[in-house]
Structure 1
Amino acid sequence: MTRDQLQSVHDDIAYMRAMAQEGRRAPLLGGSILIAAGAIFGSASVVHFAVESGALDLPPVAYAWLWGAAFLMFIVALNVLQHRIGKLPGAASLANRAAGAAWMGVGLVIFTASISMAVLAWKSGAETTFMLFPSLIFAVYGAGWAVSATVSGVRWQWWLAVAAWIAAPGIAFLAGEPTLWLAYAAGLFAFAMLPGFQLVRQRTSLVV
């Protein structure tokens, strides 16, 4: 291999290293989506608790309308926010693309699991199927934060992942109680909305 070829290989390696370092320094940009998810579904969970506890006198069909409306609100917010995020500096970085793919996977797991549980509840006539839903959400949120922590190198996201995994079986002890949905709301605020605010704050401070 000639000296010029060796220099070319060295330059390529240096370029790839610089790109990887730049990708790791780029702030994660999905905070606003996490805020929307935590706020919308967390609020829906509080209303669910109010209906199930009797604080709101509504028929059982209200649950379907409640969660259906929350889902539609989130889809609208998701489309708007993704369009805005795509225009931000660092959106094409390796870390953001990897984290974005991981959270997209989390969302698809939640969506397909929701459909599967609805079908199972319809076939069996047992609405208790949905009592597993909060545990499932916390488990996949833990996976999302684990991937995000790995690609970004941000240590506090690992603590979120572990906390979500601990909360997944822990919240199952509340199955059959109205407080299940209040605890679920608290988890959504803790594992989505509040960390989302932290990501937005970090992005803003780096830009400024």
Structure 2
Amino acid sequence: MTATALSIDTPVRPASTPIDGSPMFWAGLIFGSMNIVQFAIRSGYAQTPGPVIGLMWMGALFTFIMAAFVLKIGSSAAFRAQPEVRAFRKQWGLLILGGGLLIGVVVGVLGYLKLYALMPVVPAPLALIVYAVGWRMAAVSSGRAGFNGLSVAALAAAAGLTVVAVYAGPAWQALAYALVLFILAAAPGLALILNSRN
């Protein structure tokens, strides 16, 4: 059998494009931890003045940017140097920052309209929609359909968190959101980091 016949009879599937999980890991870990703090505050286990909470969230965003994109903690430098990985990291970074800006604008509009009851409830579902877009981007970029499952799970969790907020209140929504971030962002991000080091 000739080489041409072999190439026709046994097509070779292209290798999937590598994905850096460090942005997902740090986002899930940092923002998930902040939501546990948020749960403690909203439940009365801790007391913090309102402006301090805003500063804490700004600090969490700064920490995320430093860990994931400035110090680039997680995956190896050789892995990050691959063009596909660099492109994905840039896309994911812009997505997270854009999502943060969108949430800030929406919360600002709710405040302007004096819909104060919605202000603590809306950010979590919106953020999970951003994560859903991010995992869909990972599926498209990598050619691995498995990431679509995480995208669908994030959309389902966004709907679920809305239900939790309505029936259990913002405090329990914050705790549920923390768990979702650990499961749908931090854990798969860590798995991708470890896989990139093997």
Do they superpose with TM above 0.5? yes
Pairing of 1:132-143 with structure 2 (within 5 A)? 132-143=122-133
TM-score by length of 2: 0.79
Higher relative contact order, structure no. (Cα contacts within 8 Å, ≥ 6 residues apart)? 2
Deviation at 1:83, TM superposition (A): 8.4
Shift in alpha-carbon separation, 1:83–1:54, aligned structure 2, 3 A: closer
Show the counterpart of 2:51.
61
Select the residue among 137, 147, 152 that pairs with 1:157.
147
Select the residue among 166, 176, 179 that pairs with 1:183.
176
Deviation per residue, 1:16-58 (Å, 9 max, x gap): xx9x94xx445322x1222211111111100000000111123
* AA partner of residue 53 (structure 1): S
- Looking at secondary structure, tell me which structure has more helix per residue: 1
Counterparts of 1:57 and 1:90, CA distance in 2:
41
Pairing of 1:20-169 with structure 2 (within 5 A)? 21=14, 24-29=15-20, 31-82=21-72, 87-89=77-79, 91-94=81-84, 96-127=85-116, 128-169=118-159
Counterparts of 1:108 and 1:45, CA distance in 2:
18
Q: Which moves more between the two structures, 67-76 or 36-45?
A: 67-76
Shift in alpha-carbon separation, 1:86–1:112, aligned structure 2, 3 A: farther
RMSD between aligned residues: 2.6
Query: For structure 1, which runs of at least 5 residues remain unmatched after alignment?
Result: 1-17
Larger Rg: 1
Counterparts of 1:173 and 1:91, CA distance in 2:
42
Select the residue among 185, 190, 193 that pairs with 1:197.
190
Show the counterpart of 2:8.
none
Select the residue among 142, 159, 164 that pairs with 1:174.
164
Shift in alpha-carbon separation, 1:84–1:201, aligned structure 2, 3 A: closer
Shift in alpha-carbon separation, 1:46–1:89, aligned structure 2, 3 A: closer
Query: For structure 2, which runs of at least 5 residues remain unmatched after alignment?
Result: 1-11
Counterparts of 1:58 and 1:98, CA distance in 2:
40
Counterparts of 2:39 and 2:197, CA distance in 1:
35
TM-score by length of 1: 0.76
Deviation per residue, 1:103-133 (Å, 9 max, x gap): 1342133221132034224423433234111
Deviation at 1:97, TM superposition (A): 4.5
* AA partner of residue 80 (structure 1): V
The alignment partner of 1:57 has SS state of coil
Confirm or deny: 8 A CA contact 2:75 2:196 kept in the other structure.
Answer: no
Counterparts of 1:90 and 1:40, CA distance in 2:
21
Confirm or deny: 8 A CA contact 1:110 1:137 kept in the other structure.
Answer: yes
Counterparts of 1:135 and 1:101, CA distance in 2:
23
Deviation at 1:145, TM superposition (A): 0.7
Confirm or deny: 8 A CA contact 1:26 1:93 kept in the other structure.
Answer: no
Show the counterpart of 1:10.
none
The alignment partner of 1:131 has SS state of coil
Confirm or deny: 8 A CA contact 1:33 1:78 kept in the other structure.
Answer: yes
Deviation at 1:190, TM superposition (A): 1.3
Deviation at 1:186, TM superposition (A): 0.8
* AA partner of residue 69 (structure 1): G
